[in-house]
Structure 1
Amino acid sequence: MLLDDVVTTATAVTATRSRLAKVDALAALLRRLEPGDVAPAVGFLIGRPRQGRVGVGWRSIGAITGDPAAEPTLTVARLDAFLDRLLTTTGAGSDAVRSADLAGLMSKATAGEQDFITRVLLGEVRTGALDGVLTDAIAAASGHPVATIRRAVMLSGDLGGTARLALTEGEAALAAVGLVVGRPVLPMLAATAATPTAALTTTGKASVEYKLDGARIQVHRSGETVRVFTRSLAEVTERLPDVVAAVRALPVRDVILDGETLALDEAGAPRPFQQTMSRFGTLADSAMAQETVLTPWFFDVLHVDGRDLLDEPLSVRIAELDRIAPDLRVPGVITDDAATAERVSTEAFAAGQEGVVVKVVDSLYAAGRRGSSWIKVKPVHTYDLVVLACEWGSGRRQGWLSNLHLGALDADGAFGEPGGYVMVGKTFKGLTDKLLTWQTERFQEIEVRRTAQTVFVEPRVVVEIAIDGVQTSSRYPGGVALRFARVKRYREDKRPEDADTIGTLRGLLRN
């Protein structure tokens, strides 16, 4: 199939807000794909090609010159083969070879294909065709039950491979996809609620568990072989020997565990989140690995010694987890009492954790965030900060000022001039096309200087930012950085001197 067909479909999907229209467009494309093109095309559409990241950045793409092709000739197979070559082209002189190969591919691409290929390479595909929409499209194109397809995707962790099975081998092949110890499973996710009481109103009797301030892990053990995967199913076994050792000590032969891992201080409280995450990029024999021990905590078990537990109610899975790993189970209680749920939430916050997750006690394990079987409750903080600068966007946002530099008011001059502003982070999350257009015009009106990438502005504009918390930072002079910052709205009703202070944000560290 021509790559242009995929690009045209992606454009149509981006242009509509209708889920049904998205599904129809994607299903029509899937029906026309050759068997060998199915998995690659699905990977392109969701921005996750089967090869993963192949080491091409904006610098490499920006160095390419020449006009785009007038007519589409590139195929899905050619782009897929090109990504394979990028992965295997290594060693002396490989950069020049990769650049030449990329330039050759782009010279055969139309303008629309060039933009699409760029976004695939940079992981910036934004079609709105998320996994759930494509799962529905696979069901529509193949005629097989969507529940069967969802289960195959969950157990294989491979949406493209599941699409190929559905379209070429049929329902029996999908049903044959089973849980395999050593092959990661797509994780079950949680909806959100404002309070434990509100969550319990939805769930009824539930397991109310601490939501740890750690990193999601899935651990598979087969005999003495232990493998550890992240939330995105990347393997990190060699980085987490302390997790491996803890699971090897359990009284089981085969097991699949779902949980989190985090670094604890001497009092048993969680260390800053970035210390936990730093271990995921650190070799096991490094000094940091020796200094920062990661403790695993588990809230679910999917398989034990030949017995699959996916289709058992949560109460059964919890009982099994208590049997095999009582000392590593995430704290929690089973209750239908709102006061009890609120008490557990208070205890979780007091222990330095993020909040609680409220889980229907008879719920089965299902990948993704469907329904309200699991509901997380954690505080979302909003603060009014001042825009100090803005970086030019890339990919789809090229030509717009996008990434905001955010500052908190330094009223007392603890970190500079009294009444000045201290940078505490950046974000481009939450910005609509309308806001991008507005801020691109506005910030150039109040520009004080610029570099090739950044426009620095007078500290006039106040923006309301939602964050999950803060963390210590040596990068910013105030010693604090925002966690998971996203734009809520611009506050044209507020003056810069009304912004929240650096002291307020630093106070979150103590809390």
Structure 2
Amino acid sequence: MASVGEDMFRAFAETLEMVRSTGSRNSKVELLAGLFRRLSPASLQAVTRFLKGKEVPSGDIGVGWKGVVDALAEISGASPKDLWASYLKHGDLGSAAEDVVSRKGRASTLLRQPLTIPRVEKAFLDMAKQAGAGSSFARRRALQGLFADADALELKYLIRIITGDLRVGATGGLTEEALAKAFDVDPATLRDAVLVTGDVGEVAKLLVEGRLAQARPVLYRPVEFMLAEPKASPEEVAKHFSKEAIVEMKYDGIRVQAHVGREVRLYSRRMEEITGSLPEVRDSLSSLGHEAILDGEALGFGGGRPLPFVKMQARLHRKAISEEVIEKLPFHYVVFDLLYLDGRSLLDMKLKDRRIMLEGLRLAGGVSVAPTFSAGSAEGFRKLFEKSRAEGFEGLVVKDPDSPYMPGRRGGHWVKLKEELDTIDAVVVAAEWGNGKRAGLLSDYTFAVWDRGELKVIGKAYSGLTDEEIRSMTETMKKLALRWEGNRCWVRPEVVMEVAFDSIQRSDRHSSGYALRFPRIKAIRTDKAPGQADTLERVRLVYEGQKLK
């Protein structure tokens, strides 16, 4: 059992400083594994969630940038001008706070109470529960209480946890790798458990109790979505499967995971709850009569044809959906998989058998099972692709009927065939001022993909967004600004864009070693987190695939 001293938040912060200061992945893993071994079970759960960007199991405590700045100004006496100047110098609010407090001190240190990991977690949980009138004030007071008792280093990492900007290189699976090392288990098995449960903290609890093999989907804890691998032609799809496959239309909708039990909750690709944005889907599922986890897409239709994603995603930005909005743009939930039913995990079951169980459910209202077709030849896939395009869909998703559901993976059991060569989900890392009618707007965007925990630039695009979207992006880029280099503003990597292109070329102009030919922005993917953007390995696969055409 860990001692109280080992559960001090200071010990956590000091470990993160050491992790940040080393460039060796092995050293980072050793440092984190050592910390994990020393922590109590409760603190281990909390810390692993912190490292994965979750203040609490639900992910968010409802405190934004302004709330952090206000609380920081209150305890430090620093002016907004001082805080902004320090932020521009360091590039993140946590380091700015450390700098300001180190230089200016704080209002009083006489009554400071020890800051422990359990205390921090409890404060976060209390803030997350706040709702209604007075909730903002209550969160601010709780935040001030934590900040007042934190030293400069503790404050730095408290703020980085809240802002989701730890900056210690603990991404790219390092947390899972360190957990596996600390408990001497197979890293792949542990990663699978995290994908299945959707909560690294829950996996840490199972590890402590020696029950890792019992990792199962849990209602109201979203499972990572299974993904489809891109293919460039019907011939490539036929060669990939070499047998009859299940074929579905590829919907350009909002991927939604529905958890149905005592209530209905809906989750996006970012694992964020979006139930309030889709009340008609929630209501249609409320009479299902089973506990279930469903996977599908929410679609809007106009003139009998599916609407493009850019028109549908506006619903996700609304805090409240009126009857007028629903009547004007009703959503339909098309379900194509069943992950869990009445206490039983179906992840290891074959897709064809999961489909039988899915089709046995009584779905009502605006919810239906996705139609399927069967094909095994290039000609068969081509005809279905043409049918899909004629009906207004993006293309096809082709699935191995014997495949399990593999959370978070593109293992090749599912493939997608689209009209373009493909699209890349990339993270915006910089923006530049436009010219002509775009003067005064940040309209040219540099984007990057992931490579072993780092972002590598792959191109720049300025076409594809509406004037309204560019104006909105300008304000977003200003808020995310880290530093300016002449006309270019480098930003915190928080915005994901879906970028279409004609081809991929080798290039030494970008740090990725590749460049997209004729890139154009297809959509701002507000439904995706930065960590869900594509990887350099995916770019290589698309590049190699196009050479075979």
TM category (shorter chain) comes to 0.5 to 0.7
Partner of 1:24: 30
1:369 aligns to 2:409 (yes or no)? yes
Mapped to 1, the partners of 2:395 and 2:472 lie a distance apart of 26
Aligned counterpart for 1:404 among listed residues 431, 434, 455: 431
**Structure 1: which amino acid aligns with 2:225?**
M
1:484 aligns to 2:529 (yes or no)? no
Change (3 A) 1:166 1:139: same
1:117 aligns to 2:158 (yes or no)? yes
Mapped to 1, the partners of 2:36 and 2:267 lie a distance apart of 30
Deviation at 1:353, TM superposition (A): 3.6
**1:220·1:257 contact (CA, 8 Å) conserved in 2?**
yes
**1:190·1:373 contact (CA, 8 Å) conserved in 2?**
no
Partner of 2:91: none
Aligned counterpart for 1:267 among listed residues 304, 320, 345: 304
**1:282·1:289 contact (CA, 8 Å) conserved in 2?**
no
Change (3 A) 1:426 1:319: farther
Mapped to 2, the partners of 1:354 and 1:219 lie a distance apart of 23
For residues 41-440 of structure 1, the aligned pairs below 5 Å read 41-50=47-56, 52-63=59-70, 64=73, 65=76, 67-68=101-102, 74-87=115-128, 98-99=139-140, 101-130=142-171, 132-146=173-187, 149-150=190-191, 152-167=193-208, 169-171=209-211, 174-180=212-218, 182-190=219-227, 192-196=229-233, 197-198=235-236, 201-202=239-240, 204-205=242-243, 206-222=245-261, 226-247=264-285, 253-278=290-315, 281-304=318-341, 308-324=345-361, 328-369=368-409, 371-378=411-418, 379=420, 380=422, 403-405=430-432, 407=434, 416=437, 425=443, 427=445, 429-430=447-448
- SS of the aligned residue for 2:127 comes to helix
Mapped to 2, the partners of 1:45 and 1:338 lie a distance apart of 46
- SS of the aligned residue for 1:213 comes to coil
Mapped to 2, the partners of 1:324 and 1:89 lie a distance apart of 37
Deviation at 1:43, TM superposition (A): 1.4
**Structure 2: which amino acid aligns with 1:292?**
L
Mapped to 1, the partners of 2:17 and 2:228 lie a distance apart of 29
- SS of the aligned residue for 1:193 comes to strand
Superimposed CA distance per residue, residues 68-127 of structure 1 (whole angstroms, 9 cap, x where no aligned partner): 389996432332233234345677776566545544533544444333222211122344
Deviation at 1:484, TM superposition (A): 0.9
Change (3 A) 1:38 1:476: closer
**1:45·1:127 contact (CA, 8 Å) conserved in 2?**
no
For residues 455-470 of structure 1, the aligned pairs below 5 Å read 464-465=459-460, 470=464
Structure 1, unmatched stretches of 5+, are 383-400, 411-415, 440-462, 493-498, 507-511
**Structure 1: which amino acid aligns with 2:267?**
F
Q: Please, what TM-score do these two structures have when normalized by structure 1?
A: 0.68
Deviation at 1:235, TM superposition (A): 3.8
**Structure 1: which amino acid aligns with 2:59?**
G
Deviation at 1:200, TM superposition (A): 5.5
Superimposed CA distance per residue, residues 231-270 of structure 1 (whole angstroms, 9 cap, x where no aligned partner): 34444445433223544677x6454321110111122222
Mapped to 2, the partners of 1:240 and 1:113 lie a distance apart of 40
Change (3 A) 1:328 1:225: same
Deviation at 1:31, TM superposition (A): 0.9
- SS of the aligned residue for 1:430 comes to strand
Deviation at 1:475, TM superposition (A): 4.8
Change (3 A) 1:505 1:137: closer
Mapped to 1, the partners of 2:137 and 2:246 lie a distance apart of 56
Deviation at 1:201, TM superposition (A): 4.6
**2:431·2:442 contact (CA, 8 Å) conserved in 1?**
no
**1:3·1:76 contact (CA, 8 Å) conserved in 2?**
yes
**Structure 1: which amino acid aligns with 2:282?**
V
Superimposed CA distance per residue, residues 263-307 of structure 1 (whole angstroms, 9 cap, x where no aligned partner): 111222224434344157353544212321101111211245676
**% identical aligned pairs:** 28
Mapped to 2, the partners of 1:343 and 1:422 lie a distance apart of 48
300-309 or 322-331: which moved more?
322-331
Superimposed CA distance per residue, residues 203-244 of structure 1 (whole angstroms, 9 cap, x where no aligned partner): 55443433311111122345x954433334444445433223
Change (3 A) 1:148 1:289: same
**1:279·1:289 contact (CA, 8 Å) conserved in 2?**
no
- SS of the aligned residue for 1:371 comes to coil
**1:272·1:471 contact (CA, 8 Å) conserved in 2?**
no
Mapped to 1, the partners of 2:131 and 2:49 lie a distance apart of 23
Mapped to 2, the partners of 1:240 and 1:331 lie a distance apart of 22
Deviation at 1:163, TM superposition (A): 0.3
Partner of 2:482: none
Change (3 A) 1:96 1:307: closer
Mapped to 1, the partners of 2:384 and 2:252 lie a distance apart of 15
Mapped to 1, the partners of 2:280 and 2:14 lie a distance apart of 48
- SS of the aligned residue for 2:225 comes to coil
**1:465·1:486 contact (CA, 8 Å) conserved in 2?**
no
Deviation at 1:166, TM superposition (A): 0.9
**Structure 2: which amino acid aligns with 1:299?**
F
Superimposed CA distance per residue, residues 31-70 of structure 1 (whole angstroms, 9 cap, x where no aligned partner): 1111220111011111111163223333344452352389
**1:9·1:25 contact (CA, 8 Å) conserved in 2?**
yes
